[in-house]
C-alpha cells in the first residue's frame, strides 16, 4: 500500500482548504508519535462530496433491486478470495475522506452539468420561486395537463391512439373483428368519463381501528381534490395532509414549516432546490480565498457536538495539530441548546447520557491542559452567533467541528462558515462520523445507491481499495501554549443542567447510569468484550430477542463516544484482518455497523427525509389513521400482542430495544394499526438513548415500507410468527409482561387468548388483541395500493 506524497507542499497556512484537494503541511506533523511509525504519511485531501441527481432512473434501478428481497438484518455473505488488508495507523493523517482524484473529478463534472441543467430549467421557467417551479419531469407535466380541459382532451386523444395501435396488434393476431367496435366504444366511454383521481374514504369495514380516525380524516369533494392536486404541484405549498401531520404531533410547527408537498421533494431530486450539503459546499467555495488569508491568532477551537470522545476524533485532532504547530492553546467548546433538544426530539435518557459523558470528557481534556468550555444557549438560532462571539472573545481565528449530516445542522454550518469568515475566523467542518464519507460511493451509473446490498458491496470494495479510511487517529496530546494561564477560568466551566423538559427522575438517572455507564473507556471495554465473547456467534444469534446477543453499543455510537471506524477496525482485527468473509459472525457485525453509514449516505442525498417526508414521497399519500387512543395503547404496551407489548414496555424502561423488536413494533404501528408511522418515529426518538435521526428514520422506513431498502408494502410482519421465531420460549415476553408470567406453555404465551390461556391472561388484566391481524393486513394492502396510485397520472 503506498501513498502519494504531495508534489509540492503548500505554505503552512494552507492547512485547511476544504473543498479542493489540498494538503496538510505534513512535514510539520510527521514528528507525531504514530501507532505505526512505518506508515507512509498520506496526502491529505479536503474534499466535500458533491451529489448527483437521481430522478426516475433510480426508481427503475430500485425496482430492479426490489427483486432481490432483502431482510434488513440478513445481507448476503460473501466468503473467500478476499485480500487481507493490514490496518496502518498514522496519527499524522489528516482527518479527511480519501477519494481518488478521478472519482472526484467525475463527481465534480456531474455537479457542473447538474448546475447547468438546473440553471437552464430555472431560466425556462422564469423564477424558481414561481409556484410549480421545478416540476419539469414528464410525470408532473402530465399531471398538470389533466387539470385543464385541453390537457384532458390531449390525454384522451393519446389514449385513443394507443388503443387503436393495440387493436391493430390484436387484429394481426386474428382476434374476431366483431369485437373491435365494442372495444373502441368501451375505451371511448371510459376515457370520457375518466373521473378526477379520488382519495378513497376511510374503510368502513374496519370499524374497530378507524372510528376516531374518521372524525379526523377530512372528507374531500372533487373541487377540493383538484385544488389539492394543483397545490401539490406547487413546491411552496404544503402537502394536502399537512394539517393532520401537525395535529398528530408529527410536524413541530413551533420550529418547522408545514409538511411540504411531494413536488418539493422532487425539486430536491432534480436539482431545483439545492441539498443542504451543496449549500455547505458552496459556502466553502465562496469563502475560499478569504479563509485562506486568515492566520492563527491566540487560540484554536474545537466545537464538540455528537463526537464526545478524544480518540479517533478527526476534527479534534486537526484542531490540536493546528494549535500545536502555532504554539497556541486549544480550547474545546460544547453548547447545549434546549430548543435544539426539543426540535430534534432528544430523549431525556440521551440528554442525561451526553451530560454524563461531558463530565468524563472535561476530566480527560483537563489532564491534557485543554479546557472544555460549556454553556447553555436557549435559542437555537443564536448558536452560530454565540460560537463566533466566543471565538472573538478568545482571540481564536480557527474553529473546527465534525460534520453532522442532518438538515438543520448542515444549514447551520453553512451559515457559520460565512458568519465566521466575515469576522476573520476560519471555520472548518470535517467528515468524521462515517467509515466511508457520504458521496464517496456511487453505482456504475454514477448514482447514489438506494438499496443496501449493492451499496454494501460498494462500501466494502471502497474499503479494500482505500484501507486508510480505517486509520484511527489518536487522542490529542498535551496542550500547546499557556492555556492554564491565558484561559484559566475556562477550566472551571460547569456541566450544563438538563433542561426541565428533558430531566430524568433520580431513580431513572441511576438506572441509566447502571445500564449505560458513560465514557470512552466503557465503550472500548464493551466493544472488546463483545468481540471476544459474542461476535463470532452474532450471525446466528443476532435476531434472538431474549438474552444479550448484540453489542448494545448504539448509545455510544449515537453520542459519538465511540467511532464507527474504531469499531470496524477492531472487528477486522478480531477477524484476522478480514472485513468480510472468514468468521461469519464478525463479518455480519461489520455489515450491521455499515447500515449506520448507509442511512447517513441516504440522508445526505435525499435530505427531505429529514423534513417529515419519506424516501418514497408518494407514500405520504397513503391514508393513515390518526387515532390517539390506539397510539397510546401501542406506547403503553397494551395492544394484546405479547411480543409488541413486551418490546414497548422495555423501551420505556431501558430506553433501548433490540433491532428485531424495533422492526416488529414499527411494522405493527404502521400496518396493523395503520397509524401514521412518523408519529412512531418521533416516539422512538423521544424514548431511545441511542436515538439517531438517520438510523431511526431508516428503520421506520423499513418497518413501514416507505424507505429506501426494498421492503415492499405487501410484506407485512406477522407479530405471532415473529414472536415464535425470535422468542421461542417466551422468555422475553415473560420478562417484560408480568401479566403473562404464569403462562408456562411455550406456544400459548405468544397468543394467550387464541391458544387456551385466555382465562389466565384475563385474570391478570392482560388485554385482548386490539386488532385482528389478518383483517388489518388486508386493510393495509388496500390503503397502500390506493395511496401510491393517487399520484400516478
Ligand atoms: C424502527 C427502527 C428504529 C431504529 N432506530 C435507531 C436509532 O434511533 N438509533 C440507532 O442507532 N439505531 C436504530 N435502529 C437500528 C438498530 O435497531 C440499532 O442500531 C441496534 O438495535 C442497536 O443495538 P446494538 O448496538 O446492540 O446493535 P448491534 O447489533 O451490536 O450492531 C452494532 C451497531 O451497528 C449499527 N446498526 C446495527 N443495525 C443497524 C440498523 N439496522 N440500522 C442502522 N445501524 C445499525 C448500530 O450503530 C449498532 O450499535 C433502528 C432500527 C429500527 C428497525
- Above 70 in pLDDT, residue 167? no
- Above 80 in pLDDT, residue 36? no
Mean pLDDT of 598-625: 95
- Above 70 in pLDDT, residue 670? yes
Question: Is residue 205 domain-resident?
Answer: no
Question: Is residue 582 domain-resident?
Answer: yes
Q: Which of 588, 609, 630 is the last residue of a domain?
A: 609
The three-state DSSP-derived secondary structure of 52-98 is CCCHHHHHHHHHHHHCCCCCCCCCCCCCCCCCCCCCCCCCCCCCCCC
Band (115; pLDDT cuts 50, 70, 90): low
CATH number, domain containing residue 617: 1.10.579.10
Active site residue 459: no
568 close to 459: Cβ distance less than 8 angstroms: no
Q: Is the CB of 593 under 6 A from ligand 1?
A: yes
Owning domain of residue 786:
612-790
Query: 3-state class of 40 per DSSP?
Result: coil
CATH number, domain containing residue 350: 3.40.50.620
Q: Terminal CA-to-CA distance of the chain, rounded, Å?
A: 54
98 labelled ligand-binding: no
Q: Which residue has the CA at smallest separation from atom 38 of ligand 1?
A: 592
pLDDT at 574: 98
The tens digit of pLDDT for each residue in 752-775 reads 999 999 999 999 999 999 999 999
Name the residue of 690, 702, 708 whose CB sits within 8 Å of the most ligand 1 atoms, as the mutation to test its pocket.
690
Look at the chain and report how many structural domains it folds into. Answer: 4
* Phi and psi, residue 374, nearest 5°: -125, 140
Question: Is residue 377 domain-resident?
Answer: yes
Whole-angstrom CA distances from 428 to 36, 47, 49, 397, 470 are: 27, 11, 15, 11, 22
- Above 80 in pLDDT, residue 697? yes
Query: 3-state class of 141 per DSSP?
Result: helix
Helix extents (H) in 397-541: 407-422, 452-465, 483-486, 506-515, 520-533, 538-541
Active-site residue (options: 677, 681, 696, 724) = 677
Same domain, 709 and 570: no
The tens digit of pLDDT for each residue in 470-491 reads 999 999 999 999 999 999 999 9
Same domain, 58 and 155: no
Residue listed under C-alpha cell 445542522: 409
Band (85; pLDDT cuts 50, 70, 90): very low
Q: Which of 609, 632, 660 is the last residue of a domain?
A: 609
Mean pLDDT of 386-399: 98
Same domain, 655 and 735: yes
Q: Cell triple for residue 270?
A: 432534480
Q: Which residue has the CA at smallest separation from atom 34 of ligand 1?
A: 593
Question: Is residue 748 domain-resident?
Answer: yes
Same domain, 376 and 284: yes
Same domain, 542 and 555: yes
Same domain, 324 and 441: yes
32 close to 92: Cβ distance less than 8 angstroms: yes
Same domain, 650 and 763: yes
Active-site residue (options: 455, 606, 656, 700) = 700
- Above 80 in pLDDT, residue 14? no
Candidates 493, 498, 495; CA nearest to 338 is 498
Same domain, 565 and 623: no
Question: Is residue 488 domain-resident?
Answer: yes
CATH number, domain containing residue 526: 1.25.40.80
CA dist 76 and 493 (Å) reads: 50
- Above 90 in pLDDT, residue 457? yes
Name the residue of 586, 589, 692, 695 whose CB sits within 8 Å of the most ligand 1 atoms, as the mutation to test its pocket.
695
- Its sign, for the CA torsion 143, 147, 149, 150, is negative
Same domain, 393 and 494: yes
Residue 575 CB contacts under 8 Å (≥ 6 apart), including other chains? 582, 583, 586, 587, 590
Question: Is residue 650 domain-resident?
Answer: yes
Q: Is the CB of 72 under 6 A from ligand 1?
A: yes
The tens digit of pLDDT for each residue in 16-35 reads 222 322 222 222 222 222 22
Same domain, 79 and 151: no
The tens digit of pLDDT for each residue in 544-588 reads 999 999 999 999 999 999 999 999 999 999 999 999 989 999 999
Burial class (CB in 10 A: 0-12, 13-18, 19+), 404: buried
Q: Is the CB of 707 under 6 A from ligand 1?
A: no
Same domain, 601 and 638: no
Same domain, 573 and 641: no
695 CA to centre of ligand 1 in angstroms: 7
Question: Is residue 487 domain-resident?
Answer: yes
- Above 80 in pLDDT, residue 205? no
Question: Is residue 262 domain-resident?
Answer: no
CB atoms within 10 A of CB 579: 25
CA dist 378 and 353 (Å) reads: 20
Q: Which of 609, 634, 655 is the last residue of a domain?
A: 609
Amino acid at each position: 500500500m503506498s501513498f502519494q506524497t504531495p508534489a509540492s507542499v503548500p505554505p503552512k497556512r494552507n492547512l485547511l482548504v476544504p473543498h479542493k484537494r489540498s494538503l496538510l503541511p505534513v512535514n510539520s506533523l510527521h514528528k507525531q508519535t504514530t501507532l505505526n511509525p512505518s506508515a507512509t504519511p498520506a496526502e491529505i485531501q479536503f474534499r466535500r462530496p458533491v451529489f448527483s441527481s437521481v430522478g426516475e432512473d433510480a426508481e427503475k434501478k430500485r425496482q430492479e433491486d426490489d427483486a432481490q428481497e432483502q431482510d434488513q438484518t440478513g445481507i448476503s455473505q460473501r466468503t473467500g478470495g478476499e485480500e487481507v488488508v493490514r490496518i496502518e495507523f498514522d496519527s499524522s493523517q489528516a482527518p479527511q475522506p480519501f477519494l481518488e482524484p478521478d472519482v472526484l473529478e467525475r463527481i465534480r463534472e456531474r455537479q457542473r452539468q447538474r448546475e447547468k441543467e438546473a440553471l437552464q430549467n430555472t431560466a425556462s421557467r422564469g423564477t424558481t420561486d414561481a409556484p410549480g417551479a421545478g416540476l419539469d419531469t414528464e410525470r408532473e407535466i402530465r399531471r398538470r395537463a389533466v387539470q385543464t380541459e385541453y390537457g384532458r382532451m390531449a390525454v384522451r386523444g393519446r389514449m385513443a391512439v394507443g388503443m387503436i395501435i393495440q387493436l391493430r396488434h390484436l387484429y394481426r393476431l386474428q382476434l374476431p373483428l366483431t369485437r373491435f367496435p365494442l372495444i373502441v366504444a368501451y375505451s371511448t366511454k371510459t376515457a370520457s368519463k375518466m373521473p378526477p383521481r379520488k382519495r378513497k374514504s376511510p374503510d368502513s369495514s374496519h370499524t374497530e381501528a378507524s372510528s376516531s380516525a374518521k372524525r379526523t380524516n377530512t372528507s374531500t369533494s372533487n373541487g377540493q381534490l383538484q385544488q389539492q392536486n394543483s397545490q401539490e404541484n406547487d413546491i411552496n405549498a404544503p402537502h394536502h395532509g399537512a394539517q393532520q401531520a401537525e395535529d398528530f404531533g408529527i410536524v413541530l410547527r413551533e420550529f418547522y414549516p408545514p409538511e411540504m408537498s411531494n413536488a418539493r421533494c422532487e425539486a430536491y431530486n432534480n436539482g431545483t432546490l439545492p441539498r443542504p450539503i451543496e449549500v455547505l459546499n458552496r459556502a466553502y467555495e465562496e469563502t475560499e480565498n478569504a479563509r485562506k488569508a486568515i492566520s492563527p491568532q491566540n487560540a484554536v477551537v474545537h466545537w464538540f457536538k455528537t463526537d464526545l470522545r478524544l480518540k479517533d476524533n478527526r476534527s479534534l485532532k486537526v484542531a490540536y495539530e493546528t494549535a500545536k504547530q502555532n504554539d497556541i492553546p486549544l480550547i474545546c467548546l460544547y453548547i447545549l441548546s434546549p430548543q435544539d433538544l426539543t426540535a430534534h426530539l432528544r430523549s431525556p435518557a440521551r440528554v442525561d447520557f451526553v451530560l454524563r459523558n461531558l463530565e468524563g470528557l472535561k476530566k480527560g481534556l483537563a489532564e491534557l491542559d485543554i479546557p472544555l468550555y460549556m454553556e447553555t444557549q436557549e435559542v437555537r438560532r443564536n448558536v452560530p452567533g454565540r460560537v463566533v462571539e466566543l471565538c472573538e472573545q478568545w482571540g481564536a481565528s480557527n474553529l473546527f467541528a465534525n460534520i453532522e449530516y442532518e438538515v438543520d445542522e448542515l444549514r447551520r454550518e453553512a451559515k457559520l462558515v460565512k458568519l465566521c469568515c466575515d469576522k476573520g475566523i476560519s471555520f472548518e467542518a470535517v467528515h468524521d462520523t462515517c467509515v466511508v464519507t457520504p458521496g464517496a460511493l456511487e453505482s456504475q451509473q454514477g448514482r447514489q445507491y438506494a438499496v443496501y446490498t449493492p451499496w454494501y458491496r460498494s462500501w466494502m470494495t471502497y474499503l479494500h481499495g482505500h484501507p486508510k479510511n480505517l486509520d484511527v487517529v489518536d487522542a490529542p496530546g498535551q496542550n500547546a501554549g499557556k492555556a492554564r494561564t491565558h484561559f484559566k477560568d475556562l477550566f472551571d466551566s460547569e456541566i450544563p443542567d438538563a433542561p426541565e423538559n428533558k430531566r430524568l427522575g433520580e431513580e431513572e438517572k441511576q438506572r441509566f447510569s447502571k445500564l449505560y455507564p458513560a465514557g470512552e473507556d466503557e465503550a472500548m471495554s464493551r466493544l472488546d468484550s463483545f468481540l471476544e465473547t459474542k461476535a463470532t456467534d452474532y450471525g446466528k444469534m443476532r435476531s434472538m430477542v431474549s438474552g444479550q446477543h448484540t453489542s448494545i453499543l448504539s448509545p455510544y455510537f449515537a453520542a459519538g463516544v465511540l467511532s464507527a471506524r474504531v469499531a470496524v477496525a477492531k472487528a477486522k482485527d478480531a477477524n484476522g484482518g478480514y472485513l468480510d468473509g472468514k468468521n461469519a459472525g464478525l463479518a455480519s457485525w461489520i455489515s450491521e455497523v455499515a447500515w449506520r453509514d448507509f442511512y447517513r449516505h441516504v440522508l445526505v442525498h435525499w435530505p427531505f427525509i429529514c423534513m417529515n417526508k419519506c424516501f418514497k414521497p408518494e407514500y405520504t399519500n397513503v391514508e393513515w389513521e390518526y387515532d390517539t387512543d390506539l397510539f397510546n395503547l401501542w406506547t403503553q404496551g397494551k395492544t394484546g400482542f405479547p411480543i409488541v407489548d413486551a418490546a414497548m414496555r422495555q423501551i420505556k424502561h431501558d430506553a433501548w430495544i433490540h433491532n428485531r423488536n424495533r422492526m416488529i413494533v414499527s411494522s405493527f404501528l404502521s400496518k396493523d394499526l395503520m397509524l401514521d408511522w412518523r408519529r412512531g418515529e418521533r416516539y422512538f426518538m423521544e424514548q431511545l438513548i441511542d436515538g439517531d435521526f438517520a438510523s431511526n428514520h431508516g428503520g421506520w422506513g423499513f418497518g413501514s415500507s416507505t424507505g429506501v431498502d426494498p421492503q415492499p408494502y405487501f410484506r407485512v410482519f406477522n407479530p405471532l410468527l415473529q414472536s415464535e421465531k425470535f422468542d421461542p420460549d417466551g422468555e422475553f415476553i415473560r420478562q417484560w409482561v408480568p401479566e403473562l408470567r404464569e403462562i408456562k406453555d411455550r406456544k400459548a404465551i405468544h397468543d394467550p387468548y387464541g391458544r387456551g390461556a385466555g382465562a389466565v391472561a384475563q385474570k391478570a388484566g392482560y388485554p385482548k388483541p386490539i386488532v385482528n391481524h389478518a383483517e388489518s393486513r388486508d386493510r393495509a394492502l388496500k390503503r397502500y395500493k390506493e395511496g401510491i396510485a393517487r399520484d400516478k397520472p
